[in-house]
Structure 1
Amino acid sequence: MSKFTAAEIRRQVERFLPKVLKPSRYLGSEWNAIKKDWDKTEVHMAFAFPDVYEVGMSHLGTRILYHLVNSYPEFLCERVFAPWVDMEETMREKEIPLYALESFQPLQEFDVVGFTLQYEMSFTNILNMLDLAGIPMRSEERGIDDPWIIAGGPCAFNPEPLVGFIDFFLLGESEEQLPEVLRLIAEQKTNPLPRRDFLVRVAQVQGVYVPDFYHVSYKDDGRIESIRAEEGVPAVVEKAIVADLDQAFFPTNPVVPYLEIVHDRMMLEVMRGCSRGCRFCQAGMIYRPVRERSQETLLRQMEELVRSTGYDEVALTSLSSGDYSCIQPVIESILEKHGDDGVGVSLPSLRVDSFDVNLAESVQKTRKSGLTFAPEAGSQRLRDVINKGVTEENLLDAVETAFKKGWSTIKLYFMVGLPTETQEDIDGIVDLAKKVANLGTKMGRRNITVTISTSFFVPKPHTPFQWEPQESKASVDLKQRYLREKLRDRRFKYNYHDVKTSYLEAVFAKGDRRLAPLLEWAVKHGARFDGWGDQFREDIWMDAFKEFGVDPHFYANRVMDYDDILPWEHLGSGVTKQYLVSEHHRALHEAKTTDCRHDECSGCGICQARGVQIILKG
């Protein structure tokens, strides 16, 4: 139990808060925040986002699950985010435990703390937050008074480096499984079972993975020999899926922060899933199948959002919003209804091959802020390898139309280090950037700016490229320097992602549970906020690898065989291994796979195996 009460924490925090950066990160009490009576609710959950407030509050999943849990009268859900380094320093100095924003209750007092796993580079923040809360990092060291520590999100599809710290993981979409888990925790509070018996009950819930019941053995060369499931739990844990988005819970009274957050606007989730089949994209695989919301549902939700938030912009979110079959009529209806009140629409991403200038104009009526496209690769050959499905002609047509209509700022996203990449593909990035800029000049646009951003390819679990190695840091570093030199022109801005953090991301993306002790050691030696360039400490990680005799290249740079047992082999995204192998073969033969929404079934297995289907509303 914490030695501080909520009232004492609040009093202490209010004294020193003016001295820290962005104090409103730690205050709570925002518009639409939900404060429930602690004593009148059965289960108390803290929803923990392992990054700063501005990042966590911009995440749609945080909004959905916070309001979902609180929609049940018997449950209470409060929020907690990773305190920035100055706040953490002060809290440790004054021995103030990590607390939830709504009530200032210390995390130790909650029944369950649920982390969202959005990014491998936030793993250290999870352990650091537990430590700051006074909760033992390791599951085996926690007692009956400590909360259950659970986690979900995309990285739960390979959570093995976190095994030993998290009691159980939720795979897939939590709208139905999370309330079911909380009901079991309520029963456990009333009629306690031994820990193991309770975990056996939880493991029966669709998509719940309890690592204690899965035993991994290794070969002499370090590869996995077997993953054995105990009796009474599934051999493969298959994700939870929401079948019908129109029936799914969606909050229309989200918390409105006092300070500006990364995506400071209303959000409408128009669809889930993507069937484009980009071979590097984990989200495109693990969020299948495609399910759309109807226009009627979206317009009703929009009406309620405007009334409850006061925002003047709504983002139509999904993995590929331009693919939503009702996108044009929904935008027109929103602008017709709310445009006179100054409400605008934004689209997070526009695909080159589905670009519609009228669509772009309707969402940028007041100001032409710039258009963003993601060709991903510099040559058509490499775009075919990754199954991007766009051509140079698509891009130049879209850009020409945009220049004609008054845009002068274009952003282009590429990946460096993709499988089979050659120097010609790198030169293709430069050529494409020059063609776009020259087109703008030809069209008579002044002050043209073409921003080229490159990220370093990270092979991800449950994708056709999961068997691929990441290219060496030195090689990609040379490519980035080459691009920097070739793009020295006032018309261009070149941004690139740090090679060192992408390398560590690959280690943990493809890692197994042998990385857990190393992760704990790194946290105890100061690793945290690894995704932030100014906080990342490569020296700590290199020392950690040496300390435990772990070769990071074994995870990041090793070519894996199809018959290798992967660390995530017992976790199912619904997409079959045979499909991923087939797509990997097709990539190496530069063969494209069509989108199953408009063509024949590509055979990924999700619809047949799980009895779900693609739902299009247009």
Structure 2
Amino acid sequence: MRKLALDDTILLKIEKPERYVGNEVNSVMKNPDEIDIRFAFAFPDVYEIGMSHLGLQILYHMFNERPDVWCERVYSPWNDLDQVMREKQIPLFALESQEPVRNFDFLGMTLQYEMCYTNILQILELSGIALHSEQRSEDEPIVIGGGPCTYNPEPLADFFDLFYIGEGEMVYDRLFDAYKANKKAGGSRRDFLLLAAGIPGIYVPSLYRAEYHADGTLASFLPLCEEAPEKVEKQLVMDFDAAPYPEAPVVPYLKATQDRVVLEIQRGCIRGCRFCQAGMVYRPLREKSLKTLEQAASALLKNTGYEEISLSSLSSSDYRELPELMDYLMEICPGSGVNISLPSLRIDAFSLDVMSKVQDVKKSSLTFAPEAGSQRMRDVINKGLTEEDILEGAGKAFEGGWNKVKLYFMLGLPGETEEDIKGIAWLCEKVAERYYEIPKEQRNGKCQITASSSFFVPKPFTPFQWASMNSREEFLAKARIVKEEVKAQLNQKSIRYNYHEADVSVLEGVLARGDRRLAPVIETAYKNGALFDAWSESFRPEAWSQAFVSCGIDPDFYTSRSRNTDELLPWDFISAGVSKDFLIREWEMAKKEKVTPNCRQKCAGCGARAYGGGVCHESQG
């Protein structure tokens, strides 16, 4: 019988002890004496956030399908337990076996958000694993990172033995087989790292050297041995129907952030928004067949007991068989009391018709993402959405009974003017006016428009990767302009405006485009008390500002400085499918305020067409 790592006296004193006991429905238990590899899969945030992450569930299922591997889950202990574990010297443990993470062969971490970087160091330190890869002994786990942040892994290079670039379903089997072979041959930790470097998609930071110009820009980035390739190619699943997918995912004891069945219908996007990293690096679009999705949906609902199913993709409206899939879901769900969630829809007549059938119109709100207030800025960012589209969609929604609308915008976009900024308030006013054009007897109460703006953060492998970023003061000044302009509108009482934390966005910008010189800053900030930076109540900006000063690093170098397209970027050693030539062309198109058609209208020659040995079907019409 399992012995819990935390005794009752501790569990009774901490918030949400269910986070740490494991043994949930569909969790996997194995006999450690009958396996060859133990893999601790960590999500550097709290349990509720990590349990909502589909990628972790997919790899947990895939790894545990192998009889020689036991994959267990690890999450960041919240501040209360973190303190207790340090005081009582309790090592961080995996949920399934409750055994210390340090005893495992691998510690894998999914890197979803830059503001979780200090939590990575928390996991390493609480596990008793050396923070720096070069200081790890032969008996410590191999530390590997994956996920979207690995498209620029350099700020974390000192802390990881390996990074996996791309989609996890592809080469982990080869990595595990190499580990077993090296172990059987009596090879060292370095021997394994050299073997791993030869596997496509695996990046070993210690096998590369970065050198810098006097002005701080990157001068060269070269491998130190023949085993390490000059270019690391992202890994891509081309046969999406055959890709592993959990039909019996782990069901948490407590309510997770996304407390529902998740059905991934496609991966990638045809839209080409110039600010969107996911839309670029997950190209080309790959769809699952209707038959595969029908089978998966039925199994997921049966094996979990959830009362809601959510369709997962970057743009659900672009799934070709969405009408047929919705017919099937509405056939199997209503009788069982299961709700259907439809995120990432473009608001058109079909979408509204479907949502009216699967949502309680009186309770739910519709979400639009215009991203910019003016048509000029929407053309700059290649949103592919006109003001007419927005107002027509809102009008149809209001006529269908909705009265609550959420509008998402960004501030600080390249080339933005004061008129573009005020355009956010003006667009909200036009949406409100559209509501009050409906006859009073047809309205569903008062109109409620919630406008939210995040602050633009340039990301690697986007056409805006060369753009300068606003300062905290500039962001806040722009938010004040919007706030004041909202107050000047006739329907101001129907409009509520809020915005993201500016200092968090600036730090995200530093880490997103940073290089290896940021590792000491992250470590110093962590030692200064930075932890759970993604949580407003835990974010400590002074811990970071002190770290930048003590490490002699100017954060403005990574944010406010614009780059030339011929500058060597820290992530240029990664081949991500989209070519640099394409990104440069799109950067120039943005400056000219010109729109590029989506992939189904016309192939833009992004480089993803034949990536991964497959063909981009979108380019064939």
TM-score, with normalisation over the residues of structure 2? 0.96
> What is aligned with 1:537?
540
Report the secondary structure of 1:301's partner residue. Answer: helix
CA distance in 1, matches of 2:9, 2:97: 17
Report the secondary structure of 2:565's partner residue. Answer: coil
> What is aligned with 2:557?
554
Which one-letter code corresponds to 2:22 in the other structure?
G
Is the Cα–Cα contact under 8 Å of residues 168 and 210 in structure 1 kept in the other structure? yes
Which one-letter code corresponds to 1:70 in the other structure?
N
* Deviation, structure 1 residue 517: 1.2
* Deviation, structure 1 residue 353: 6.1
> What is aligned with 2:519?
516
CA distance in 1, matches of 2:563, 2:147: 25
- Give the one of 316, 321, 326 matched to 2:321: 326
CA distance in 2, matches of 1:156, 1:12: 33
* Deviation, structure 1 residue 373: 0.6
> What is aligned with 1:255?
250
Between 604-613 and 35-44, the greater mean CA deviation after superposition: 604-613
Is structure 2 residue 339 aligned with structure 1 residue 337? no
Between 181-190 and 14-23, the greater mean CA deviation after superposition: 181-190
The verdict on how the C-alpha distance between 1:44 and 1:11 changes in structure 2, with shifts beyond 3 A counting, is closer
* Deviation, structure 1 residue 490: 2.7
- Give the one of 295, 304, 320 matched to 2:290: 295
Is structure 2 residue 18 aligned with structure 1 residue 21? no
CA distance in 1, matches of 2:537, 2:193: 40
Matches within 5 A, 1:71-470: 71-229=65-223, 230-352=225-347, 356-364=351-359, 368-443=363-438, 444=440, 445=443, 446-470=445-469
Report the secondary structure of 2:602's partner residue. Answer: coil
Is the Cα–Cα contact under 8 Å of residues 58 and 245 in structure 2 kept in the other structure? yes
Is the Cα–Cα contact under 8 Å of residues 307 and 339 in structure 2 kept in the other structure? yes
* Deviation, structure 1 residue 368: 4.5
Percent identity among equivalent residues? 48
Is the Cα–Cα contact under 8 Å of residues 273 and 383 in structure 2 kept in the other structure? yes
> What is aligned with 1:606?
608
RMSD: 1.7
Between 489-498 and 410-419, the greater mean CA deviation after superposition: 489-498
CA distance in 1, matches of 2:414, 2:374: 13
* Deviation, structure 1 residue 355: 6.3
The verdict on how the C-alpha distance between 1:227 and 1:414 changes in structure 2, with shifts beyond 3 A counting, is same
Deviations 1:71-98 (A, max 9, x none): 1111000000011101111111111111
> What is aligned with 2:502?
499
Between 336-345 and 378-387, the greater mean CA deviation after superposition: 336-345
Report the secondary structure of 1:268's partner residue. Answer: strand
Report the secondary structure of 2:333's partner residue. Answer: helix
Is structure 2 residue 583 aligned with structure 1 residue 580? yes
Report the secondary structure of 2:229's partner residue. Answer: coil
The verdict on how the C-alpha distance between 1:84 and 1:519 changes in structure 2, with shifts beyond 3 A counting, is same
Report the secondary structure of 2:469's partner residue. Answer: coil
Which one-letter code corresponds to 2:344 in the other structure?
S
| Number of residues of Structure 1 aligned to a counterpart in Structure 2 | 611
Is the Cα–Cα contact under 8 Å of residues 6 and 105 in structure 1 kept in the other structure? no
CA distance in 1, matches of 2:276, 2:174: 30
CA distance in 1, matches of 2:611, 2:41: 32
Report the secondary structure of 2:257's partner residue. Answer: coil
CA distance in 2, matches of 1:352, 1:208: 40
Is the Cα–Cα contact under 8 Å of residues 361 and 402 in structure 2 kept in the other structure? no
* Deviation, structure 1 residue 612: 1.8
Task: Identify unmatched segments of 5+ residues in structure 1.
Answer: none
Is structure 2 residue 476 aligned with structure 1 residue 477? yes
- Give the one of 21, 45, 61 matched to 2:39: 45
* Deviation, structure 1 residue 35: 1.1
The verdict on how the C-alpha distance between 1:575 and 1:53 changes in structure 2, with shifts beyond 3 A counting, is same
* Deviation, structure 1 residue 441: 2.0
Is the Cα–Cα contact under 8 Å of residues 235 and 612 in structure 2 kept in the other structure? no
Task: Identify unmatched segments of 5+ residues in structure 2.
Answer: none
Report the secondary structure of 2:615's partner residue. Answer: coil
* Deviation, structure 1 residue 354: 7.9
* Deviation, structure 1 residue 194: 2.9
TM-score, with normalisation over the residues of structure 1? 0.96
Is structure 2 residue 566 aligned with structure 1 residue 563? yes
CA distance in 1, matches of 2:338, 2:208: 51
CA distance in 2, matches of 1:454, 1:185: 46
Report the secondary structure of 1:518's partner residue. Answer: helix
Which one-letter code corresponds to 1:567 in the other structure?
P
Is the Cα–Cα contact under 8 Å of residues 335 and 343 in structure 1 kept in the other structure? no
Is the Cα–Cα contact under 8 Å of residues 144 and 163 in structure 2 kept in the other structure? yes
Which one-letter code corresponds to 2:135 in the other structure?
E
CA distance in 2, matches of 1:484, 1:115: 39
Report the secondary structure of 2:89's partner residue. Answer: coil
The verdict on how the C-alpha distance between 1:442 and 1:13 changes in structure 2, with shifts beyond 3 A counting, is farther
Deviations 1:479-517 (A, max 9, x none): 112222333433122121000000000000000001111
Which one-letter code corresponds to 2:236 in the other structure?
I
Is the Cα–Cα contact under 8 Å of residues 107 and 142 in structure 2 kept in the other structure? yes
The verdict on how the C-alpha distance between 1:485 and 1:277 changes in structure 2, with shifts beyond 3 A counting, is same
